[in-house]
């Protein structure tokens, strides 16, 4: 675990997310104006997060490059995720690319202060985003290391994610839960009855070895 922690703290994205979390939390405490919705928003976000994570994984990270006229539509996140599948043990490809935060942080700030009726609630939202983001980065990194978790839930998370990478990339999209969204959205098959995919390490390549 000490070695795992050293790898985590040397990556840029956890520090960026921690900065968001610390700034939002400090601002939330300073603003005050606590209301019942400040408990409701985090609860709803925790409940929705497995499905948000699933949608992002399926629709953004597994985006198949498309050509529109002379333009190739292929985001940095999708490109980096294909590299991540090609070499799942490479630590720098496990984390959210730092360049993503150049647009993601302004977008989150805009959503927070435009979508919520008061500054306190906007800061509650941003605090929750920061906390969930850190949990995501830590869990995703941990299951890609050689660390063997003791808890049953984390062992299942690790097994499922490795099935996604090494057996079939069309299933097991959950990262931080033991298949919550996968079970409800039909991407949690019996591994023994699921064929091995030739493209698990070469996403979207029909003739991958």
Confidence of residue 2 (pLDDT cuts 50, 70, 90): confident
- Tens digits of residue pLDDT in 93-119: 999 999 999 999 999 999 999 999 899
Mean pLDDT of 70-90: 93
Confidence of residue 130 (pLDDT cuts 50, 70, 90): very high
**pLDDT confidence of residue 209:** 43
Confidence of residue 161 (pLDDT cuts 50, 70, 90): very high
Q: Which residue has the tokens 């390490």?
A: 201
Q: Is the pTM of this model over 0.85?
A: yes
Confidence of residue 206 (pLDDT cuts 50, 70, 90): low
**pLDDT confidence of residue 207:** 53
Instruction: Please report the DSSP string for 10-54 in residue order.
Output: TSHHHHHHHHHHHHHHHHHHHH----THHHHHHHHHHHHHHHHHH
Q: Which of 81, 82, 178, 96 is nearest to 130 (CA)?
A: 96
């Amino acid at each position: 675990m000490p070695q795992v922690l050293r790898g985590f703290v040397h990556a840029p994205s956890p520090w960026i997310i921690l900065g968001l979390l610390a700034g939002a939390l400090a601002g939330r405490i300073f603003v005050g104006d606590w209301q019942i919705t400040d408990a409701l928003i985090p609860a709803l976000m925790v409940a929705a997060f497995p499905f948000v994570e699933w949608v992002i994984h399926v629709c953004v990270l597994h985006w198949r490059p498309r050509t529109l006229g002379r333009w190739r539509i292929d985001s940095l996140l999708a490109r980096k995720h294909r590299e991540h599948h090609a070499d799942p043990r490479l630590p720098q490809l496990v984390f959210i690319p730092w360049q993503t935060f150049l647009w993601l942080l302004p977008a989150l700030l805009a959503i927070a202060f435009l979508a919520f009726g008061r500054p306190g609630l906007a800061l509650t939202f941003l605090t929750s985003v920061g906390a969930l983001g850190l949990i995501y980065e830590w869990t995703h990194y941990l299951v890609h290391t050689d660390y063997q978790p003791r808890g049953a839930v984390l062992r299942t998370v690790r097994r499922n994610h490795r099935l996604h990478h090494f057996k079939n990339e069309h299933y097991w999209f959950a990262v931080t839960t033991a298949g919550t969204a996968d079970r409800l959205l039909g991407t949690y098959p019996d591994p023994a009855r699921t064929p091995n995919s030739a493209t698990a390490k070469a996403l979207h390549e029909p003739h991958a070895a």
